[in-house]
C-alpha cells in the first residue's frame, strides 16, 4: 500500500519538525490505488454494505454545528455523512495500513520498540457539508490512560485543500501541555488570549499525503465547501507499556502492533 520508496524515507527531518512544532508533513506515502480502495471501503462501512460488531459511528449533526452533535446514537442507517467511524482495525484492509512498515519505523522511533494502538478512526466530511471542528487536543481524563499519548498519523484518502476543511494547527502549542485536565475542546477563554491562535497554520494535502500530529498540539478543521468528500484515517499509537486507568468497566487491553 506504500507509495514507491516511502518505506525508505529518511525520517530525521520530519521527526525533528514533529518534536519542535508538534506536527510534520510526511508527503505522499499512500499509493493511489490503495487510497482508492480505502475510500471505497470507507463508503461501504458508512452505507452498511460491510459490517463489523464493535464499530463506533458518529453522524454529523443535522445543523452542521459541533455543539449540536448527538452522542451515543451510533449507527443511524446508511449514510455518507458519518463524521467518524472508530475501530477501523477490525477491517483487514484498514489494519494493513495501520501496521505498514513506514509507520512502524516512525512509531518505534517516537515511542520505543513496543507499540500498541489506542484508536484508528475514519474522519469524514461529506461534500458541501461537515462541520467546524473547534480547537482541541487529543488527550485528557476522557482518554483514561496512565501517561500522555503523543503520536498520531493522519493520512488523506482524498485531496483536502483549505476549502475542504483541511487540518489546522497551532505550532508548538504541544509544549504547553494540556489546556485543561479534561483535555478535548480548548476553552473559549483561552482562545480569547490574542497570541493563542495567531500563528495557526493550515495544512492542505493531496490524496495519499500523511501528517504527524502530536496529541497535545492544538488542531481543528473547518467545513467542506467542495463538491468532493474529504476522508482521512487518523491513527493514535501508544508506547507498549501504556495502561488503561478506567474503573467503571474492565480496563482496555490495547492491541499490540507490528508483530510484537
Using an 8 Å Cβ cutoff, are 157 and 42 in contact?
A: yes
Q: Over 19-32, what HEC string results?
A: HHHCEEEEEECECH
User: CA–CA distance from 58 to each of 140, 198, 219 (Å)?
Assistant: 20, 31, 20
pLDDT in tens, 64-110: 888 888 888 899 999 999 999 999 999 999 999 999 999 999 999 99
Which residue bears the cell 506515502? 29
* Range with lowest mean pLDDT among 46-50, 66-70, 119-123, 150-154: 66-70
Q: CA 188, CA 191: separation in Å to the nearest integer?
A: 5
Question: What does the pLDDT average to over 104-128?
Answer: 97
3-state secondary structure of 249: coil
How many Cα atoms sit within 13 Å of 224 on the Cβ side?
A: 20
pLDDT digits 0-9 by tens, 6-22: 999 999 999 999 999 99
- C-alpha 96/C-alpha 2 separation (Å) is 10
At residue 191 the predicted structure's pLDDT band, cuts being 50, 70 and 90, is low
**Average confidence (pLDDT) over 35-42:** 98
Determine contact, residues 173/134, Cβ cutoff 8 Å: no
Any idea which of 16-20, 124-128, 156-160, 248-252 has the lowest mean pLDDT? 248-252
Domain ranges in the chain? 6-61+80-196+210-241
Q: Quote the mean pLDDT of the chain.
A: 94
| pLDDT at residue 260 is higher than 90 | no
The stretch 179-187 carries a mean pLDDT of: 88
- What confidence category does residue 256 fall into, taking pLDDT thresholds of 50, 70 and 90? very high
What superfamily does domain 6-61+80-196+210-241 belong to in CATH?
A: q2cbj1_9rhob like domain (2.60.120.620)
End-to-end CA distance of the chain: 21
Q: Which residue in the block uniquely carries the three cell numbers 480547537?
A: 135
Distance, C-alpha 72 to centroid of its chain: 20
Q: How far is CA 5 from CA 1, 23, 159, in A?
A: 11, 22, 21
Q: State whether the Cα torsion 182-186-188-191 is positive or negative.
A: positive
Q: Looking at residue 193, what is its pLDDT?
A: 55
d(CA 154, CA 159): 13
Confidence of residue 48 (pLDDT cuts 50, 70, 90): very high
Please give the helix or strand (H or E) that residue 195 lies within, else none.
none
Q: What is the pLDDT of residue 217?
A: 97
**In this structure, are residues 120 and 98 in contact, taking their beta carbons and an 8 Å threshold?**
yes
Q: Which three cell numbers stand for residue 123?
A: 474522519
Lowest mean pLDDT among 23-27, 68-72, 110-114, 179-183: 68-72
Amino acid at each position: 500500500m506504500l507509495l514507491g520508496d516511502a518505506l525508505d524515507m529518511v525520517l530525521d527531518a520530519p521527526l525533528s519538525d514533529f518534536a519542535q512544532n508538534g506536527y510534520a508533513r510526511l508527503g505522499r506515502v499512500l499509493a493511489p490505488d490503495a487510497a482508492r480502495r480505502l475510500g471505497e471501503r470507507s463508503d461501504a462501512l458508512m452505507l452498511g454494505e460491510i459490517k463489523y460488531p464493535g464499530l463506533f459511528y458518529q453522524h454529523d449533526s443535522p445543523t452542521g454545528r459541533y455543539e449540536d452533535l448527538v452522542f451515543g446514537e451510533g449507527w443511524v442507517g446508511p449514510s455518507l455523512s458519518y463524521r467518524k467511524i472508530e475501530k477501523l482495525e477490525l477491517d483487514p484492509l484498514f489494519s494493513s495500513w495501520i501496521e505498514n512498515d513506514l509507520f512502524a519505523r516512525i512509531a518505534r522511533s517516537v515511542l520505543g520498540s513496543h507499540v500498541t494502538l489506542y484508536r484508528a478512526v475514519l474522519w469524514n466530511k461529506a461534500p458541501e457539508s461537515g462541520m467546524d471542528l473547534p480547537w482541541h487536543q487529543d488527550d485528557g481524563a476522557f482518554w483514561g490512560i496512565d501517561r500522555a499519548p503523543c503520536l498520531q498519523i493522519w493520512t488523506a484518502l482524498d485531496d483536502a485543500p483549505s476549502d475542504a476543511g483541511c487540518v489546522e494547527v497551532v505550532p508548538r502549542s504541544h509544549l504547553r501541555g494540556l489546556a485543561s485536565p479534561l483535555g478535548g475542546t480548548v476553552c473559549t477563554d483561552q482562545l480569547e488570549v490574542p497570541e493563542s491562535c495567531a500563528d495557526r497554520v493550515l495544512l492542505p494535502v493531496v490524496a495519499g499525503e500523511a501528517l504527524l500530529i502530536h496529541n497535545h498540539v492544538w488542531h481543528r478543521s473547518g467545513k467542506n465547501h467542495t463538491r468532493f468528500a474529504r476522508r482521512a484515517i487518523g491513527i493514535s499509537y501508544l508506547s507498549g507499556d501504556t495502561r488503561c486507568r478506567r474503573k467503571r468497566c474492565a480496563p482496555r487491553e490495547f492491541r499490540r502492533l507490528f508483530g510484537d
